[in-house]
Structure 1
């Protein structure tokens, strides 16, 4: 069987790696946070794991890596931090001074060194309006209008990018993402691959790459979670047979609030006036999902770093009087039930910082989403 090599940069806790290893051999992954890297190691080992700032990894590392793997890279996976591009941090739509946003250019730097056959890139939909993303696409494509290389010594790529929702790709969650696939161009000219960025709001590819997976609609929240037969929990409790199935404590006031919130999609609109926060008494207050419940008959809202906090979104359990547990959040992100997490540098399973584990889960690429795209890419590798 043909061995396909892959690199996973910005790997986080390993959501993309979990899907990636089903079709590819991961020869390197990069994660800067040492606690998150410890969770990654628990699931995927440490032999190929680089812990540190990706900007500090020089040419020699990548060249030596490729030399040990027959100078062949089939897929580069890049899922850089998205917070700087999110709507919540938007200042001026086409500009951004957030230093994290320049990390997307590390994808190009590494692609220029390793020359992968395919690239998978994932971020928030809002990224497509930023000038740095327009620059990113032009540099990555490296194609002139006549279909020839812009810079002859660098690889060129035929690109397709789309904004998708995770529930269309077997994830029981409303999670809008921008996904980009790129295939190295080995025959020129290729006018289809030319990208227009001038006088357009979002970049336009002449004829986008014709590789893309079919949609696989996800089951609803209850249909998905019911297969795992999770125990009932009260706020602040931990299932003694499953330490990841633990829920945050709630104050007496928040317990009153969630008990006053109708099951399966209820919101704070149903509260008595005595339960309403002062900041929510104003007209046209946004963030209407805050303090709401999920619905068993629908998809989950986007799982974020604050996904286990009742006050940070529609993260109330559909029927139980608590926020969702870490286990439920991980399952909604389609991590396997046996996936391991730690919030401690020493690596004790399911121990340590509650918030750190929630961040690992919320920042991850949903496993099923990645799986569908990696399987499709593997057919052409």
Structure 2
């Protein structure tokens, strides 16, 4: 069997590329408009080229020549995991991300031009909920009428695929060379939880807020104020939340007075024996979600956030600040989920 190969659009720091590569598929290139991802991508995705380009400005011919791609190549996979803030349900200012709402349409240009053996799209569930606006409806109809007869498109929880995190993601997998629906392969055995990847037994020494790890392991965490240290001491271990200090007039936040049942994850700790909540780009902050360590009085470290995203402990993250690296990690496709997609494609390819 010829080796499957893939081009990863909107590759960022390489979560999708790494998982696809681990499944046994060659990565030809990753494409991203953010050149600050280059160093991380090239440090981890062996043999792949990082292409710094805005997909709006990239032509099909340019990509064809640069990577020596062929049309109608049964062994080619085109992957599009576009930035998804515009379609997210999180209540943020959408003006900055307005341009990103058309990224699926731009990606479809390359699918229509190359007609690869396989197409993969991964995004927030909002892309499916607003499928007409996002361009998904038109894209799926084009696939069905152009040889991709039975595309799989569904919202999955990555916890079902070995990732110790509850994270719902829309996934589309379409095959031009098989009538069989190709679905990500679910992990066998118990669901993965926080305890499976964090803690001293997993290589994470106890640290305090503000700890700076100058090694490549990056077990680093931001400082917190003295009042926040006092708040965390009152948050019970293993799943506690801000109700632990809600009756203390010196510690209670004014915005939460009389609102004990609102935003309860704020200042919340992870549970050891449950999956983590969705790891966002703000996981270094104790006030942006349930991102407090199960026992220690601090936020998650860079490496802990990466582990909960299923990156291996040996993954090399390069960046000028903790915030930028955290953004790369929070935006990533969990590698174990990507690997489940890759394995499903390989399995399908063997029988066609």
TM-score (norm 1): 0.82
Residues in 2 aligned to 1:360 and 1:373: alpha-carbon distance in whole angstroms: 21
Tell me what 2:49 maps to: 48
Tell me what 1:119 maps to: 119
- Structure 1 position 248 matched with structure 2 position 219: no
Residues in 1 aligned to 2:72 and 2:49: alpha-carbon distance in whole angstroms: 16
Q: Structure 1 pair 238/186, CA: closer, same or farther in 2 (3 Å)? A: closer
Could you tell me whether the CA contact under 8 Å between 2:42 and 2:49 is conserved in 1?
no
Tell me what 1:28 maps to: 29
Tell me what 2:11 maps to: 11
Q: CA deviation at 1:129?
A: 1.9
Q: CA deviation at 1:29?
A: 1.3
Residues in 2 aligned to 1:304 and 1:215: alpha-carbon distance in whole angstroms: 23
Q: CA deviation at 1:174?
A: 0.9
CA shift digits 1:157-188 (9 cap, x unpaired): 5312111111111000011111111112688x
Q: CA deviation at 1:30?
A: 0.3
SS at match of 1:174: coil
Residues in 2 aligned to 1:308 and 1:335: alpha-carbon distance in whole angstroms: 17
Tell me what 1:163 maps to: 155
Tell me what 2:60 maps to: 59
- Structure 1 position 379 matched with structure 2 position 347: yes
Could you tell me whether the CA contact under 8 Å between 1:112 and 1:155 is conserved in 2?
no
Tell me what 2:82 maps to: 80
Q: CA deviation at 1:238?
A: 2.3
Instruction: Tell me the C-alpha RMSD between the 2 structures.
Output: 2.6
SS at match of 1:21: helix
SS at match of 2:218: strand
Q: Structure 1 pair 336/105, CA: closer, same or farther in 2 (3 Å)? A: same
Deviates further, 52-61 or 154-163: 154-163
Residues in 2 aligned to 1:249 and 1:186: alpha-carbon distance in whole angstroms: 53
Aligned with residue 215 of structure 1, among 162, 182, 186? 186
Q: CA deviation at 1:239?
A: 3.8
Could you tell me whether the CA contact under 8 Å between 1:140 and 1:157 is conserved in 2?
no
Gaps of 5+ in 2: none
Tell me what 1:266 maps to: 240
Could you tell me whether the CA contact under 8 Å between 1:156 and 1:184 is conserved in 2?
yes
Q: CA deviation at 1:222?
A: 0.9
Could you tell me whether the CA contact under 8 Å between 2:27 and 2:47 is conserved in 1?
no
Could you tell me whether the CA contact under 8 Å between 2:102 and 2:134 is conserved in 1?
no
- Structure 1 position 308 matched with structure 2 position 284: yes
- Structure 1 position 359 matched with structure 2 position 293: no
Q: Structure 1 pair 140/66, CA: closer, same or farther in 2 (3 Å)? A: farther
- Structure 1 position 338 matched with structure 2 position 311: no
Tell me what 2:269 maps to: 293
Q: CA deviation at 1:310?
A: 0.9
Tell me what 2:198 maps to: 225
Q: Structure 1 pair 59/134, CA: closer, same or farther in 2 (3 Å)? A: closer
Q: CA deviation at 1:104?
A: 1.1
Deviates further, 364-373 or 242-251: 242-251
Moved over 6 A (4+): none
Gaps of 5+ in 1: 188-208, 344-351
Aligned with residue 324 of structure 1, among 300, 304, 309? 300
CA shift digits 1:258-280 (9 cap, x unpaired): 11100000000111232111111
Deviates further, 285-294 or 332-341: 285-294
TM-score (norm 2): 0.89
Q: CA deviation at 1:213?
A: 3.5
Question: For this pair of structures, how many residues does the alignment match?
Answer: 341
CA shift digits 1:173-212 (9 cap, x unpaired): 011111111112688xxxxxxxxxxxxxxxxxxxxx6322
SS at match of 2:287: helix
